[in-house]
Structure 1
Amino acid sequence: MRRWLALLVAATTSLVLIALLVPMAVLIRSVAENGAMDRALTAAGSVAVAVGTPDLPLAVEQVARSVTVFLPDGTTLGEEAERSAAARLAATGRSVTAEADGGREVLVSAQSPEGTAVIRVFVPEDELMRGVREAWAALLALGLGLVVLGIVLADRLAQAVTRPVDGLARVSHRLAGGDLTARAEPGGPPEVRSVALALNHLAGRIDELLVAERESVADLSHRLRTPLTGLRLDVESLRDPEEAARLQARVDALERAVSALITEARNRTADRESCEAGAVVRERVRFWSVLAEDQGREVEVTLPDGPLSVAVRAQELAACVDALLGNVFAHTPEGAALSVRLAGHPDGALLAVQDDGPGFDPALLERGISGGGSTGLGLDIVRRTAESSGGRLAVSSPSGGGARVEVVLGAA
């Protein structure tokens, strides 16, 4: 915007200056020419009064100019000059001005007893343009100075407008990045201040709505504790200790998930947290291996030798792995093998889960759509977890059958 305003002011100022300075330059030249011609006419008049008197030669010598007198008898006094057509015209009794080589000639007729004499005064081009070029240079300098001054003032004015707009852009980017404490500083023209106040109001409303949503999710999650308590009591009443222990572990895991959901819902920080991906994936695969063993599934696990940190909280990564493995157990027949591979990646880490099931139906990859009676949010949870870390999700069907889900997680 600053550049466009500067160009606009430069163009407008230039047009105005051209409209003013060009006529002024023509006027200056006309004034200079008129002054030179007036001085020549005065000199010619001083000689004309001496025509027909013995003082004519002295009058010619006293004029400090190039003066020629064409006498009626054909003789010439003063500077040698050619009797031009204009001089012959002046000999008829008419005073004229004509262009000549290198300037102009002023021809004044004067009557004498012998006839009509013509006084010629030559005005060189330098005298006609005396002071004109200097005045033009001054006008040009003035015009350029005014254009530069206009551009500087326009730049300052544009800066006063663009600085608050740039501030609004920065605040909007911070809000988009999750920093809900960002607020704009109202400034600049009234319209820009109004936009800043509206953006601050919008940010406040977003903050309020998110707080209300977090509390609502936390309250809903907290309500799950009541049926969980009843379920725990039912598990404790089982007579088979092994079955009771197995179900108790499932209830404990469910309760931990509910607690993590409450904590996450009330977490207001936008800063990224990290975890060691290998430990989280190893622990979740160990949890699902028990069910895999009951269903006769072969599980292949490949983990890195060293630590691999990713920009995801441990609870979120655990939920991501649970969603991927849960989809395998929910949408593939019992006995279908699966593999879990975690490895380094240029962007951070790559988590790949592949199974030997029937593969994905593309229509079932949308949020909220499922072919197995579930909520259909599993892959969406995985996608949001990957994107929150700066990664991505990719789903494919290998040529040998089955499905493969690759999750790229950003580095911590």
Structure 2
Amino acid sequence: MRRRLTVLVAATVTLVLIAFSVPLGLLLRTVASDRAVSSAAQDAEALSAVVATADQDTVRASVDRMNAVTDHPVTVYWPDGTVIGADAPRSEAVELAATGRSITAEAPGGREILFGVQGLPEGTAVIRSYVADSELTEGVGRAWVILGVLVLALLAFGLLLADRLARVLLVPLAELSQVSHRLAGGDLEARARVSGPAELREVGAALNGLAGRIRDLLAAERERVADLSHRLRTPVTTLRLEAEALNDPRERETIESAANDVQRAVDAAINAARSPTRADPSCDAAEVVAERVEFWSVLAEETSRALEADPAPGPLPVQVSAEDLAAAMDALLGNVFAHTPDGTPFAVHLTARPEGGAVIEVSDEGPGMPAADRAELAQRGHSGGGSTGLGLDIVRRTAVASGGGTELGTGPGGTGTLITVTLG
């Protein structure tokens, strides 16, 4: 942008200087020409009275004295054909001036100024003063050089001024851009220095206000999440106490395991709300997926669902924390149980990506998902199945945070649903 501003100012200054200097240069040339012609005309007019009243000898003496001191050769054409002064051919312009007219005409190598002097006994005499082309342009070249130097100096000054102006404008803009990138990266304490022109100061103040508002909103949101998660501890504790009162050891173990999982999820939600930033999360996808498949296999057996699990051998590192990946797997497998009837087979496949990461495929042989519902599921909080629509959004956000993504399709047999999760 700095270069664009400089080029814009340079183009504008150049156009203004051209519009100023070209007419001025032509005017200087015209003035020089008029000055030379005027000087020659004055010399010729000075002889008019002598030619009109004196004899040829007196006129010859006056012409010789004038030619000795002037740069414009003077010639007098007498009515009887006598030529006095500088030798010059009798041109058509001289013949025209002999009718009593005063004219200026082009001549070889210059210009001749002619005056017709009437009242002589013999007829009309003609006084000729000659101006060479070099005299018509005398001093014009030097004036043009001075004008060119002045134009270049003004152009250089304009470019320097444009560079200074661009710096005054762009330094605050660069600082605003840097602050906005820091805010986008999660540094909510970043603030812009309010400086520069009034408009940029207003933008900087607005950006600082926006950053403060975002920080306050996120802080309030984290507190609400932490408070809500903390409130869940009471029913979880009640559930654990109820499980201890069960007589069947297997049922007690199952419920206690579920209560422990809920407790871990609540603790993870509180920790995430209090400390939202994590440095390079990672885990072994093979271990986490195997653990969650084993957990859900108990419920699959109770609901007569055939489970096909094909996990890749570990370790299989992915850029996701173990808690987030476990929550994503619970969301995927929980949807199978929530949206398909008992007895519906499902499968979980885990494979390694050649470029690093993993691919998780969860498929079922249920009734499938209409295309309209798939479009709704692309938006957070929308679902066509009577749920909140947040389960798959958790999966999507987990995949995107690792550098991957999600894809919804039809099951391998042409029925059911296939969800493919790519993790980086």
The worse-fitting range, judged by mean Cα deviation, of 259-268 and 24-33 is: 24-33
CA distance in 2 between partners of 1:4 and 1:83 (Å): 64
Contact kept, 8 Å, 1:320 with 1:382, in 2: the verdict is: yes
Offset at 1:10? 4.0
Matching residue of 1:384 = 397
Where 1:54 maps in the other structure, the secondary structure is: helix
Contact kept, 8 Å, 2:300 with 2:307, in 1: the verdict is: yes
Matching residue of 2:21 = 21
| Residue pairs, 1:1-400, within 5 angstroms | 2=2, 5-6=5-6, 8-44=8-44, 49=50, 52-54=55-57, 56=60, 58-59=64-65, 62=68, 65-110=72-117, 114-269=122-277, 271-345=279-353, 346=355, 348-365=357-374, 366=377, 367-370=380-383, 374-398=387-411, 400=414
Matching residue of 1:406 = 420
Amino acid paired to 2:144: W
Which stretches of structure 1, 4 residues or longer, exceed 6 Å deviation after superposition?
Answer: none
Contact kept, 8 Å, 1:178 with 1:270, in 2: the verdict is: no
The worse-fitting range, judged by mean Cα deviation, of 360-369 and 192-201 is: 360-369
After superposition, the C-alpha distances for 1:30-65 in whole angstroms (9 at most, x for unaligned) are 321122123323544566647634361644763554
Where 1:105 maps in the other structure, the secondary structure is: strand
Where 1:121 maps in the other structure, the secondary structure is: strand
Amino acid paired to 2:418: R
Contact kept, 8 Å, 1:52 with 1:113, in 2: the verdict is: no
Contact kept, 8 Å, 1:40 with 1:122, in 2: the verdict is: yes
After superposition, the C-alpha distances for 1:63-122 in whole angstroms (9 at most, x for unaligned) are 554443322211334544332333123334443322223321012345766554323222
**Aligned-pair RMSD on alpha carbons?**
2.8
Amino acid paired to 1:296: S
Structure 1 pair 110–278 and aligned structure 2 pair: CA distance change class (3 A): same
Offset at 1:12? 4.3
CA distance in 2 between partners of 1:172 and 1:306 (Å): 41
Contact kept, 8 Å, 1:60 with 1:78, in 2: the verdict is: no
Offset at 1:401? 1.2
Contact kept, 8 Å, 1:72 with 1:114, in 2: the verdict is: yes
TM-score (norm 1): 0.88
CA distance in 2 between partners of 1:211 and 1:307 (Å): 37
Offset at 1:24? 2.5
Structure 2 residues not aligned, in runs of 5+? none
Offset at 1:245? 1.6
CA distance in 2 between partners of 1:178 and 1:362 (Å): 36
Where 2:269 maps in the other structure, the secondary structure is: helix
CA distance in 1 between partners of 2:174 and 2:37 (Å): 63
Aligned length: 410
TM-score (norm 2): 0.86
Offset at 1:123? 1.1
Q: What's the % identity of the aligned pairs?
A: 53
